[in-house]
Structure 1
Amino acid sequence: MVDSNLNAGVGDLAALISRIAQNEGDHSTAIASLSLHRRNMATLPVHCIYQMGLGVVVQGAKEIMLAGKPTHYSAGESLLTTIDLPVVSHVTRASQREPFLGLMLTFDPRMVVQIAALMPPAKSIKEIPPNPLSVEPLDEGLIDALSRLIKLLDEPDLITHLEPLIQQEIVMRLLASNHGPQLRHIATAGSPSQNISRIVGWLKQNFTRPVSMEELAANAFMSPSTFRQHFRAMTGVSPLQYQKKLRLQEARQQMLSKNLDASSAALMVGYESASQFSREYRREFGESPQRDIKRMRLAEE
């Protein structure tokens, strides 16, 4: 009976998403933190930054690659990201008849910290090592809350008042679930995970600036070697590699959306050498900037 209820709930959630995301692509909504996604066929791997939040698949399947390690999740499963991560993502199962359907809900870290402080932990986080990506099955309570959040899009006058309450409920349910220990690693004041999360937030806002590992480590209240160890454990890459990925992805977006040439994009994101930018761009994306942007534009036509 439980499995049939869960399957019915996942099916209802898929119907809600399909009704709004009628065309293939990523669909932003009137709820800024919520986006809905539909793909009619498997996709090529795409470099992107996953923000702190919850990804849910209700039809089809997806693979996320972090530092060369794949994470798979499919219909009826949720993916929790506890820190902003540079990943390679692609849909692995989708068709015209049964398209991939999913959602992404990002979280305000301050809200997570506030709610975690109010709820007693179900498990000791010391017993469970931090993992920036965790996959767990959906449960009926979480499905119900997510469904109500999507249905709220039909009542725009109530979004401002009810959306924060449903978001808080979702975070509470995650804290009480098997995802809970991973959220608590980030929410525990003074923990290595929270300090790394704070540094990641700073890097996202200041990735064009030169960075000193000693300065970053000091701001995280760690020695440089310990800082590098914890940073790599949380993000899959070193601090300098993380900054480089942020720069390259921003440059790629600027070239694609604003028709900038490679040299201008390189200077905009903090590179002093255009040739170094082109070398690192090719290593990251597999092609020169010019060829890569041309390929992406052709794919959009």
Structure 2
Amino acid sequence: MLDRLAHAIERHCQGPWSETAVPRLSLVALDELIEPVEVTYEPMICFIADGAKRTTAGERSWITPPGEMALFTLDLPVTAVFEKVPYRAAVMRLDGPTLAAVQMELDETGQASPSAAAVTAPMAPELVDAVTRWIQLLGAPDDIRPLAPRIEEEILYRLLRSPLGPVMRQWSLADSATSRIRTVARWICEHYAEPLGIDDIAGMARMSPATLHRHFKAATGMSPVRFQKHLRLQEARRRLLAGDATAAQVAQAVGYVSATQFNREYRRAYGLPPGQDAFRLRTRLAEAGEVPVLHDGAGAKP
């Protein structure tokens, strides 16, 4: 069944990754190893049909092999390393209203439980089949509008009945601790260049600063301050790789007041000063005849 899923992804994926005509579905197909990808994932689930990927977020690191799925419950800056190719994956962006509607149809809602931002589990054969049929709709465009929502609901139903079910139920609750941490994480992603006031974001989450810190680190593997720093450095590296600004200009654009602090933190994260790191990456990509890969599927922000 994994072979059928991998074949469907390969047939319909245009390039290393592609958005598709099926709402909330993207495909990833890599045949050669590439540089590690730094990206901010949105809430999504990644179904791995072939190959393997190592994902690192803060202090956590895990490998997702073929036949497993990885669930991301909030906006999360990660580093993705493709450890085995060919790599084939389907990515589903999570839609809160659709998930809530499917959950209401279940006879048993189960018990919601707090969770980290990312969780992995094996895919049941019935789930692999549903995801494969979802992708195969790309070969019958007239069927997408009437059938894609129904297959998406089937996939969500099977996910809710899977080991990921408790995590997904917690994600869908409107006022759970998980949803409040998700709100804070998204706010930091959208305002990463601004000063971060811990009291302000704790008020946003309706938590004390200590409680916010505990829940945020449990969810992301990082403190809010480190989370913001990770976002700033990711964006700085992307801008430096584009080559349209100096290191000092980039530092200021991503929120650093001190260029010295920026250089120190950038070197600690990437092993080289900003300019040298960008030159090394551009040279390596040019030698390989590649263009910069800024994300590895839908649900990812460059």
TM-score (norm. length: structure 1): 0.85
CA shift in 2, pair 1:286/1:113, >3 Å: farther
* Alignment correspondent of 1:4: none
- Structure 1 segments unaligned to the other structure (5+ residues): 1-8
CA shift in 2, pair 1:245/1:141, >3 Å: same
- Residue 41 of structure 1 deviates from its aligned partner by 4.2
SS at match of 1:300: helix
* Alignment correspondent of 1:251: 236
Does residue 78 in structure 1 map to residue 69 in structure 2?
A: yes
Q: Kindly indicate whether the alpha-carbon contact (under 8 Å) linking 1:43 and 1:92 is maintained by their aligned counterparts in 2.
A: no
1:165-197 per-position Cα deviation (integer Å, ceiling 9, x unaligned): 433332222112111111112222321111101
- Residue among 239, 250, 273 paired with 2:224: 239
Q: Kindly indicate whether the alpha-carbon contact (under 8 Å) linking 1:54 and 1:79 is maintained by their aligned counterparts in 2.
A: yes
* Alignment correspondent of 1:66: 57
- Take 2:270 and 2:33, find their aligned partners in 1: how far apart are those partners? 19
TM-score (norm. length: structure 2): 0.85
Q: Kindly indicate whether the alpha-carbon contact (under 8 Å) linking 1:121 and 1:176 is maintained by their aligned counterparts in 2.
A: no
Does residue 220 in structure 1 map to residue 205 in structure 2?
A: yes
- Residue 16 of structure 1 deviates from its aligned partner by 0.9
- Residue among 181, 191, 215 paired with 1:196: 181
- Take 2:196 and 2:24, find their aligned partners in 1: how far apart are those partners? 30
* Alignment correspondent of 2:95: 108
* Alignment correspondent of 1:180: 165
- Residue 121 of structure 1 deviates from its aligned partner by 4.7
Q: Kindly indicate whether the alpha-carbon contact (under 8 Å) linking 2:99 and 2:172 is maintained by their aligned counterparts in 1.
A: yes
- Residue among 2, 9, 19 paired with 1:10: 2
- Residue 162 of structure 1 deviates from its aligned partner by 4.0
- Residue 118 of structure 1 deviates from its aligned partner by 4.8
Q: Kindly indicate whether the alpha-carbon contact (under 8 Å) linking 2:21 and 2:138 is maintained by their aligned counterparts in 1.
A: yes
SS at match of 1:125: coil
- Residue among 50, 64, 70 paired with 2:41: 50
Greater Cα shift, 206-215 or 262-271? 262-271
Aligned runs of 1:113-124 on 2, under 5 Å? 113-119=100-106, 121-124=108-111
- Take 1:205 and 1:156, find their aligned partners in 2: how far apart are those partners? 35
CA shift in 2, pair 1:34/1:296, >3 Å: farther
Counterpart residue identity of residue 6, structure 2: A
Q: Which protein, 1 or 2, shows the higher relative CO under an 8 Å CA cutoff with sep ≥ 6?
A: 2
- Structure 2 segments unaligned to the other structure (5+ residues): 287-302
Counterpart residue identity of residue 180, structure 2: N
Does residue 210 in structure 1 map to residue 213 in structure 2?
A: no
What is the number of residues matched between the two proteins? 286
- Take 1:66 and 1:270, find their aligned partners in 2: how far apart are those partners? 21
CA shift in 2, pair 1:111/1:290, >3 Å: farther
What RMSD over aligned residues (CA atoms) do the two structures have, in Å? 2.3
- Residue among 2, 20, 28 paired with 2:19: 28
- Take 2:140 and 2:243, find their aligned partners in 1: how far apart are those partners? 35
Q: Percent identity?
A: 34
Structure 1 stretches of 4+ moved >6 Å = none
* Alignment correspondent of 2:262: 277
* Alignment correspondent of 1:5: none
Does residue 294 in structure 1 map to residue 285 in structure 2?
A: no
- Take 2:231 and 2:253, find their aligned partners in 1: how far apart are those partners? 12
